[in-house]
A and B are shown apart, each in its own frame.
Chain A
Amino acid sequence: GAGVSQTPSNKVTEKGKYVELRCDPISGHTALYWYRQSLGQGPEFLIYFQGTGAADDSGLPNDRFFAVRPEGSVSTLKIQRTERGDSAVYLCASSLGRGQETQYFGPGTRLLVL
């Protein structure tokens, strides 16, 4: 079956602009996660959805970052007033849900803020 997909694969924007990154989880997976990976680092947790609700957003760095999952499937990560420090690979992962621990990752969106 299809894995986690993310669009766009690459995004270049200018400082101060708004961007949206999309994630399509594996069909039937109720849990969805967003991570951010900077060069030379491991992925860092941003936010976790169980169904439509954000169950844990403790990893969001500040209020410029926001994510939604209105129908419990596709999720969008939104970044307002982008800064150069936001440049990173944004990874999405999904899992079957609570008690099913293995998370499956998408290919990521490479964001470059000029």
Chain B
Amino acid sequence: DQQVKQNSPSLSVQEGRISILNCDYTNSMFDYFLWYKKYPAEGPTFLISISSIKDKNEDGRFTVFLNKSAKHLSLHIVPSQPGDSAVYFCAAKGGGGADGLTFGKGTHLIIQP
């Protein structure tokens, strides 16, 4: 069973507009969430994270929102730029003492000029 779900395999957004990537989770014991960006043939690059005690974290063009009651988080990128085209992974930590991250399957973001 997938504990972290990214239900959109791909998303196309026009340059300059807002990109919103969504992530749902099932394990209420997760206490830390991260977003990673991945280009082809490279390892995931850390973008932004949020602790379960917060509902928002912002870093430049990137903002992550956490809705614990809905077990949902989202990553907002504004304004979207061509270099943002990549696969974005949502990851969660905790979940009953596990030390590794649990990842979603990723969303391929395509920024159109």
Chain A interface (Cβ < 8 Å from any Cβ of B):
4, 6, 33, 35, 40-46, 48, 55-56, 58-59, 91, 93, 101-108
Question: Do B93 and A101 touch across chains, with their CB atoms under 8 A apart?
Answer: yes
* B79 partner residues in chain A, CB cutoff 8 A: none
The stretch of B11-19, B56-64, B67-75, B97-105 that contacts the partner chain: B97-105
**Complex: chain A residue closest to B6, CB-CB:** A42
Given contacts A33-B100, A102-B34, A103-B101, contact A42 B89 (CB under 8 A): yes
Residues of A within 8 A of B4 (CB): 42
Total residues of chain B contacting the partner, CB 8 A: 23
Q: Which of B41, B46, B104, B105 contacts A103 (CB 8 A)?
A: B46
Contact with A along B90-113 (1 / 0, CB 8 A): 010100001111111110000000
For residue A106, which residues in chain B have a CB less than 8 angstroms away from its CB? Answer: 43
Kindly state the separation between the CA atoms of A91 and B101 in the bound complex, as whole angstroms: 12
User: Which partner residue on chain A sits nearest B102 by CB separation?
Assistant: A45
Task: Flag if A58 contacts B42 (CB, 8 Å).
Answer: no
Nearest to B91 among chain A residues (CB) is A42
CA distance A55 to B97 in the complex (A): 11
User: B32 in the interface, Cβ–Cβ < 8 Å?
Assistant: yes
Determine which residue in A91, A103, A106 has the highest number of CB atoms from chain B within 10 A of its CB, and name it. Answer: A103
Chain B residues with CB below 8 A from A42, complex form: 4, 89, 91, 103-106
The verdict on B22 contacting chain A, using a C-beta distance below 8 Å, is no
Across the interface, which residues of A come within 8 angstroms of B32, CB to CB? 101
- 8 closest pairs, A vs B, by CB? A45-B100, A42-B103, A105-B43, A48-B99, A56-B99, A107-B43, A105-B44, A101-B32
